[in-house]
Structure 1
Amino acid sequence: MSATDVVADRVRLVLASASPARLATLRAAGLDPEVVVSGVDESGVTAEQPAALVAELARLKAEAVDATLVLDDRVTVLVGCDSMLELDGQAYGKPHDPASAVERWGRMRGRSGVLHTGHHVLVHARGERLVRAEVGSTTVHFADLDDDEVAAYVATGEPLEVAGSFTVDGLGGAFVERIEGDHHNVVGISLPLLRTVLRSLGVRWSDLWTTSTP
């Protein structure tokens, strides 16, 4: 299948993620995906390296959702993602509770980490099932927060359910001094990386734009 085989109004995009930030990023880019949450239990998944871990989690999410899809005559694009922050060689996902978030920020402040996002992409077209996986990695430099700033940020609840205990597109943006790499990757889905992957699978990025896009 080549890129010219795809007709723009015959493409279905499915996002295998519950992340509001990923959905908002895709919508801001002119895409309107269906959201199907995988329900994958991440607790028992391990890997030797953080990048390998996010790749495996993205794969599990995408494959779980793929098994539930009812396909039709459209080209179906399915994207699964997972993000974690690597600090001192260790992977950090969502802290879930305030104490863990405070402890996490005690390690992060004034330092740099690498935010890894795994992308697992499947394309169903004309009876073919094409798959490609890539990991985007972005270096994040954190401000040297004092204890009161950490406590105030954690009290908002924002860092509890986001990878690495921070956001770059929300309240946590003031605590990120700079990044090296793709900004969208830190949010949870790399648009440039996804465009490249889709192109290699025969889908142009513009094929995913909605008809309402200017």
Structure 2
Amino acid sequence: MGIPAFVLASISPARLHLLQSAGIEPIVCRSDFDESTVTSTDPVILVNTLAQCKAEAVVAKFRNPGDRTVTPEKTGNPSRVVVLGCDSVLQVDGEIYGKPETPAEAVQRWQKMRGGVGELYTGHALFDLNSDRYMVRCQMTRVYFANISDRQIENYVATEEPLRCAGCFAIDGRGGLFVEKLEGCHTNVIGLSLPLLRSLLEELGYDVTDFWPDSIYRSV
């Protein structure tokens, strides 16, 4: 039967780069799921529900023969795919944050976060269309923020990087300068936990190295 194609239900450049750096070249498929329809005061429930809904939206596209937003030719067989959906939020002092909507909001948020500690939650939903099985798990990483100045906050927000990130910072970008340390999985803060992904694939009966391109095996 072979190894299924790996589909990322997200257009996040950070998540795509993480998978590529780990040797997985996914098919990228936008979920088009309306995140505003899901609310919860529990960060674990929130990110897990959003991750599952995003993955389910893409799974539905593959199961719908008339949906041309996915191309079966890319997978060889549309029933032989695994779909990964993810979502992240930051919780600080009991308050849940997603992406800031305006630069002013980003500045205010950083003024609250600096010198403090936040918990970055990422929900992971992995669907296997072949077996009709799926796994949903959450990973949390504790983030310690530097006590940066107002000038540094304003200059950072001016780059617009915080506006594109859950939690208002990108640790793999300029925001990494303003994080003192992490407790937990560092790739989780970027957008998905690679160790958790490996575990989820194993629970579905796959070895993560099976998703590496053939060229890697030939070079060993």
TM-score by length of 2: 0.89
2:190 matched residue in structure 1: 187
User: What is the aligned-residue identity percentage?
Assistant: 47
Unmatched 5+ residue regions in structure 1? 1-5
Aligned to 2:120: 115
Whether contact under 8 Å (2:123, 2:138) holds in the other structure is yes
Measure, in 1, the Cα distance between the counterparts of 2:133 and 2:43: 25
Tell me the matched-pair count: 205
Q: In the alignment, which of 161, 165, 168 is matched to residue 165 of structure 1?
A: 168
Q: Could you tell me how far 1:45 is from its partner in structure 2?
A: 1.1
- Kindly provide the amino acid, as one letter, of the partner of residue 144 in structure 2: H
Structure 2 residue 24 is matched with structure 1 residue 21: no
Aligned to 1:175: 178
Change (3 A) 1:199 1:210: same
Corresponding residue for residue 142 of structure 2: 139
Counterpart position of 1:37 = 30
Equivalent residue, structure 2, for 1:85: 90
* Aligned counterparts of 1:73 and 1:65: Cα–Cα separation in 2: 12
3-state SS of the aligned residue for 1:39?
coil
Letter in 2 for 1:130: R
Instruction: Note the alpha carbon deviations across 1:16-54, whole angstroms, 9 max, x for none.
Output: 011100000000110000010111111231123011101
- Contact kept, 8 Å, 1:12 with 1:74, in 2: the verdict is no
Please state how far the C-alpha of 1:74 moved relative to its aligned partner. Answer: 6.5
> Once superposed, what is the RMSD of the aligned Cα atoms?
1.4
Higher relative contact order (CA 8 A, sep 6+): 1
Q: What are structure 2's unaligned runs of at least 5 residues?
A: 64-71
- 1:73 Cα offset (Å): 7.0
Q: Aligned partners of 2:197 and 2:109: how far apart in 1? A: 29
Alpha-carbon separation, structure 1, partners of 2:102 and 2:78: 45
TM-score (norm 1): 0.92
Q: Give the aligned residue type for 2:114.
A: R
